Structure 1
Amino acid sequence: MAEATKRYAIVTGANKGVGFGVVKQLASKGVMTVLTARDEKRGLEAVEKLKECGLSDLVVFHQLDVTNPASIASLADFVKTQFGKLDILVNNAAVIGSILNPEAFRAVPSKKLEEVDWNEVSTPNYELSEECLKTNYYGTKRVTQALLPLLELSDSPRLVIVSSSIVKLLYFPDGWPKEVLSDAESLTEERIEILAKKYPSFCINCVCPGYVKTDINCNSGILTIEEGAESVVRLGLLPNGSPTGQFFIRKELTPF
């Protein structure tokens, strides 16, 4: 069962990139953190890297495929059995909904995410767009629903959803059906505002960590993993009474 003063966190999609950075920073601050990944081998390798940093007592791995209800249920059972509660949930697992052209991406002169012409650096793919919705929206929704009862047992529950300031353009370039574009544009706002109103004792926020150098943008970003993770961890560790139901770009509060 949970110790009275111990805090427990889960980070989805955390074997690399911003998710990995978030796990490292949370553990470094004394938070017992569950690093999750769809691929067990990659997840365990990520945990080994953190052990080399002296964080072996504060990081544990659990396999999680956010598109698989059985996998989600297994994670919830693990946390309930091992910790008895959950204090911080960081929904970071995501995939991109188009085929990227690495050379075109790296040739973009602008280093501002919102100024990238995604139709020049990516090719629409319907199968990938379906996977994107299944992972980024429905997967996030199911993971959150499964873990809400454990978050309710916390004295300071925190839910952080990692998103993008250009979710529509990043995942669904021009040419997709209007209903798909509409869904992509509204998902972040819908899930944050509804949850924040339903759970007023929680601190629930969405954050774009910025143009971070990761695989999802062919490593063309300008921020380091550590810099991107810092914005996410800040929201996970906000004190009680902090803003909820908001969208941040890094540390800046931004309208949806």
Structure 2
Amino acid sequence: MTEAISSSPSTRIAVVTGGNKGIGLEVCRQLAGNGVTVVLTARDEKRGTEAVEKLNGPGISHVLFHQLDITDASSIAGLVDFLKTRFGRVDILVNNAAYGGVEFLRGPVYNSVSSEEELSGMDRDQRLEWLWKNSQETYDAAKKGLQTNYYGTKHVIEALLPLLQASSDGRLVNVSSDFGQLRHFRKEELKQELNDVDNITEERLDELLDMFLKDFEAGAVDARGWPRAFSAYKVAKAAMNAYSRILARRHPELHINCVHPGYVKTDITIHSGLLTPEEGGSRVAAVALLPEGGVTGAFFEDFKESSFV
């Protein structure tokens, strides 16, 4: 299958993490529909291969699978070796793989039909309240949330950076969230520090994330002014937004942006969202396919540039 896939210099090469379902699958579909050769990655080989088989049908024949666990250094190295050998570059990297940072009280996958019946007539805030009531924050889940949503994504970026730089128009799209906007932080000093793009450093982000975990373990999240409810997810996404801005300044040759896909019906929301994965995916794909010479270091929401705050 992979041998038939074009890797000519004129064909753009995209890598999508967490591509086997939900928003990631739709991003793969929409990029491929725009003539991009897509490397769909997922932790589970069987699910990833099945996702590629679903996509490679009428009109789309240039999606291939490679295994990737973004929290596993050897898995990341394996993907890099494959991309170097097969393509020699990456034109678009979409970091979509994520973990909710909470444990759901309804089991691993809640029936989406049942949840839709239960959520019928609820607005966004009511749905978020329902989601919160059906979740619990634990230290282990919070720690895993930071390791996946911030450090896992960061390690993928660091490993693929040389391949993005080998592109004539390298694009890095980090799937973020309005939960990562700084308005959720209640301590003004934290807000200001995370928004100070001229002075914030990777080392300081590490310190802040360590501080958050210690406060979480001590039950001091509220007292210290961290975000309430889904706090680990919010903190990790805010840190990734800050890191994206650091990278955009450091690498002006690339286009590095964050995008909020909206409140989407996926496993990570127990299917409580208002948008379909196709709608969420279209917001991400639009940023990946911005015209050449566009903005970098920006946050996008509803197809337009928005605020990190």
CA shift for structure 1 position 134: 0.8
Aligned partners of 1:143, 1:188: CA distance in 2, in Å? 12
Counterpart residue identity of residue 141, structure 1: K
Instruction: State the Cα distance separating 1:112 from its structure 2 match.
Output: 2.3
1:208 to 260, 268, 288: 260
Distance 1:121 1:22, change over 3 A: same
Q: Which of structures 1 and 2 has the bigger CA Rg? A: 2
**What is aligned with 1:82?**
86
The question of whether the paired residues in 1 share the 8 Å contact of 2:263 and 2:273 is answered with: yes
* d(CA) in 1 for partners of 2:279, 2:105: 25
Taking structure 2 as the reference length, the TM-score comes to 0.74
Deviation, structure 1 residue 128: 1.3
Query: Quick one: which amino acid aligns to residue 166 of structure 1?
Result: F
Q: Is the 8 A contact 2:127 2:273 kept in 1?
A: no
Q: How far off its partner does 1:151 sit?
A: 0.4
CA distance in 1, matches of 2:151, 2:126: 25
Task: State the distance in 2 between where 1:234 and 1:244 align.
Answer: 14
Runs of at least 5 residues in structure 1 that lack an aligned partner in the other structure: none
Partner of 1:99: 103
Q: 1:20 is matched with which residue?
A: 25
The residue type paired with residue 164 of structure 1 is S
Task: Tell me the CA shift for residue 217 of structure 1.
Answer: 1.0
Any gaps of 5 or more consecutive residues in structure 2?
1-5, 107-113, 185-212
Equivalent residue number for residue 282 of structure 2: 230
1:170-249 → structure 2 map (5 Å cutoff): 177=221, 178=224, 183-184=235-236, 186-249=238-301
CA contact (8 A) 1:204 1:244 kept: yes
Q: Secondary structure at the match of 2:65?
A: strand
Query: CA separation in 1, counterparts of 2:141 and 2:264?
Result: 22
RMSD: 2.6
Q: Which residue of the partner structure matches residue 72 of structure 2?
A: 68
Q: State the partner residue of 1:136.
A: 149
> Is residue 15 of structure 2 the alignment partner of residue 10 of structure 1?
yes
Q: 1:185 to 1:222 in 2, by over 3 A?
A: closer
Do 1:110 and 1:116's aligned partners in 2 also have CA atoms closer than 8 Å? no
Structure 1 residues 72 and 232: CA distance shift in structure 2, 3 A: same
d(CA) in 2 for partners of 1:63 and 1:161? 19
Code of the residue aligned with 2:305 in structure 1: it is L
Greater CA deviation, 82-91 or 243-252?
243-252
Q: TM-score, normalised by structure 1?
A: 0.89
How far residue 113 of structure 1 moved from its aligned partner, in angstroms, is 5.9
1:166 is paired with a residue whose SS is: helix
Match of 1:111 in 2: 123
Q: In structure 1, the residue corresponding to 2:82 is in which secondary structure?
A: helix
- How many residue pairs are counted as aligned between the two chains? 252
What one-letter code is carried by the residue in structure 2 that aligns with 1:214? T
Matched, 1:155 2:134: no
Distance 1:253 1:110, change over 3 A: farther
